[in-house]
Amino acid sequence: MSMSEISKKMDFLDSKILKLLNNRMELVLMAKNTQSQVEETGREEEFLERIRKNSTGLINAEFIEKIYNEIIKESKDLQQKDLKLIAFQGEHGAYGEVAAREWQSDLIPVPCSEFAELFEGVQRGLYDYGIVPVENSLGGVVGQVNELLINTGLNVVGAVELPIHLCLLALPGTDHREIHTVYSHPQNLSQCRNFLARNKLEPVQYYDAAGAAKMLMEEAPKSSGVVASKLSAEIYNLEILKEDINDFERNITRFLVISREENREEGDKCSVIFSTEHKAGTLFSVLEVFARENINLTRIGSIPIELGSYAFFLDFVGSNKDDNVVKALGEVETITTSLKMIGCYKEHKV
């Protein structure tokens, strides 16, 4: 093994150690949100005993004890700080994390593998906020998220419209002519289909775009690249071979920020969920109310809640304190079987 190869492996391991420490600190903050302090002292001796038994001779227990004590100290210090967690779906580097950083840069983004896990974590208070995609200008609505919004009763406290800039990433020093296979989430691959075809790149579906970037960094499959975000390139030390490989220039995903708490600040956008009787003209009657009050509707969608019955999502411009909005919602309440304001918030456009 050459010195260059040794250095690369050391850099990889250093990066992995740092990421694992970061993951541990995320868990420390989650423990704080459950109003539990992480008690390390009982585990410390057990841990050191395992090290003594499994040591290869290169690492002595005294050295590990120094490191471990510093980790414990940092964990306790971290729990004393007023830090807020925001959960997103996917691995670090996902567009959900990009949107979270755009919404509030001082929040700590935490990855979740599934949307259901994210919603449950916000409900239980493990995370202060969650950020979820609700629609993409090319891919349409995210049905699972809408269903969870209905069933969990969480509040919408913010929204972010994020332009999606797909990038072709590879390991540092890779010649683009050597790449034959490209990994990413199916939606990302479909949104740069023409680029991949022009360059004779074989698309391979992966569970998550940022997860594909992580896999490329860890496993280094031959002749491979990934389609992911710029943030993924930064996090996983990958090289951006080509930016903006989208087939269509306008590719925007809208994210909603959810919380157990209601938004206490003035908003300029509202989201409501309502149901109507299953008969002709009922939905039109609701929409007619908003039209009479000159309220601009920006999104309407539906999802089945039981056989023959639907819940409708409606987003509109305005504040729940505006006279015409108050009047419209009062009238809508009389012609629907249920009506719930799930949030009045600021819409942030990147």
Looking at the annotation, which residues are catalytic? 253, 255
Instruction: Give the chain as a 3 state SS string.
Output: CCHHHHHHHHHHHHHHHHHHHHHHHHHHHHHHHCCCCCCCHHHHHHHHHHHHHHCCCCCCHHHHHHHHHHHHHHHHHHHCCCCCEEEEECCCCCHHHHHHHHHCCCCEEEEECCHHHHHHHHHHCCCCEEEEEEEECCCEECHHHHHHHHHHCCEEEEEEEEECCCEEEECCCCCHHHCCEEEECHHHHHHCHHHHHHCCCEEEECCCHHHHHHHHHHHCCCCEEEEECHHHHHHCCCEEEECCCCCCCCCEEEEEEEECCCCCCCCCEEEEEEECCCCCCHHHHHHHHHHHCCCCEEEEEEEEEECCEEEEEEEEECCCCCHHHHHHHHHHHHHCCEEEEEEEECEEEC
Q: In Å, how far from its chain's centre is CA 19?
A: 18
Which residues lie below 8 Å from residue 235, measured CB to CB, with a gap of 6+? 92, 93, 210, 213
CB atoms within 10 A of CB 246: 20
Which residues lie below 8 Å from residue 208, measured CB to CB, with a gap of 6+? 90, 91, 94, 185
Q: How far apart are the C-alpha atoms of 121 and 112, rounded to whole Å?
A: 9
